[in-house]
Structure 1
Amino acid sequence: MRNKTCVALCVLALAGGRAWAQNAATPAPHAGIVKAVRGDVQLLDGVGASRPARPGDALAPIDRIVTGPDAGASVVMRDGTTLMVGPSSRLDVKEYHFDATTQEGGLLLALIQGSLRLITGLIGKTHPEAIRVETQTATIGIRGTDFIVQADPQP
């Protein structure tokens, strides 16, 4: 079930993500847009308020994505970076900024639990060192354009 969820979300995100990123030249207060949701997915803001995620919802520069056991979500960030969050996951967007004119920015994610597939957009292509993913045991500096990371819950 997990593989089917991830594959379906990847296809949906890749199909819509590139075109949306090209229209992201205007400044926006949000970091990204939820492109697809399957199952129970919640977005938590910086003060802990929770709301169900729906396609088209804005993701703030500091939000948490929480997925249920048979759930998943894909998010396309303003620079075209695509995040696919797998089942039973908790992902914090700790920092996101992007200037569409200079194509400079940064992304810091914390995968607390679960799985994440990340396909870099303009930030990763122009400044790969500006994208980092933290887990409970390591910080990953991105040098490639597509990877998957999994973090098991601490006992």
Structure 2
Amino acid sequence: MKFALLFGLFCVLNLPTHTIAADRIGMVTKTQGKVIVLRGQKRLLLNEQMQLQEGDTLKTSSNSKVQLKLRDDTVITLANRTQFKLSQYQYNKAKATSNVHFELVEGAFRAVTGAIGKQRSPKFEVKTKVATIGIRGTDFWGGFISSDALDVTMVSGKGVYIKNAHGQVELSVEGEGTTVSAQSAPSAPKIWPKDKLNTAIQATAL
């Protein structure tokens, strides 16, 4: 029995690093209030420094927020009353490739991309019930805090595209935003009023 335990420990210690940490895509860096993560059939209370896995769904309450940092140094902050799924996260530093697919079920988020945003052809998309948001390397915000329509703005960076079955627009100027519903294409980009931009940013400030 003792030999079997020692042999098992030896095998684990000698696994390649990428095998041991394959499901670790980032960690929680800040929390405010009670934040829950749904992981398979488990419902766990998040805390700072907690490791996150592909497939995790994060849920904030009416008085809570959370910030997480991914392996490529992308930082994502979730507003209150938000549900956000980390559906797929593939990042290869050596090959400078990525394939990231997240889902905003409800609420709002802000994302500041890290190394992925600096890649030549980054693949980083956030799906919502009305449209998909994709980045070209940027600091961007998206959410449903104003209405059932999705608001998206580019805070800074190279660009953000928003697309659905009815059309696609790209935000390429800091402060530009768009609004999109399930029944129509994203609206033409325009600079958001300062109060609207500040309201969005404050919703995800932590």
The bucket for the TM-score relative to the shorter chain is 0.7 to 0.9
State the SS of the aligned residue for 2:118: helix
Q: CA deviation at 1:127?
A: 4.5
Task: Name 1:72's counterpart in structure 2.
Answer: 65
Higher Cα Rg: structure 1 or 2?
2
Aligned residues: 128
State the SS of the aligned residue for 1:55: coil
Q: Name which of 85, 89, 107 aligns with 2:100.
A: 107
Q: Name which of 52, 56, 60 aligns with 2:53.
A: 60
List per-residue Cα deviations over 1:78-122 (Å, max 9, x = no partner): 011111011000000110011232232221110000010001111
State the SS of the aligned residue for 1:136: coil
**Structure 1 residue runs of 4+, over 4 Å off?**
none
Rounded Cα–Cα distance in structure 1 between residues aligned with 2:120 and 2:109: 21
Q: Which has the higher contact order (CA 8 A, sep 6+)?
A: 1
Task: Name 2:30's counterpart in structure 1.
Answer: 36
Rounded Cα–Cα distance in structure 1 between residues aligned with 2:91 and 2:82: 25
| One-letter identity of the residue aligned with 2:129 | Q
The percent identity for this pair of structures is: 27
State the SS of the aligned residue for 1:31: strand
The 1:127/1:38 distance shift into structure 2, 3 A limit, reads farther
Task: Name 1:141's counterpart in structure 2.
Answer: 134
Q: CA deviation at 1:151?
A: 2.8
Task: Report if the CA contact (8 A) 1:128-1:142 is conserved.
Answer: no
Q: CA deviation at 1:144?
A: 4.1
State the SS of the aligned residue for 1:102: coil
Rounded Cα–Cα distance in structure 2 between residues aligned with 1:103 and 1:128: 9
Structure 1: 5+ residue runs without aligned partners? 1-25
TM-score (norm 2): 0.58
Task: Name 2:88's counterpart in structure 1.
Answer: 95
Cα-Cα RMSD: 1.7
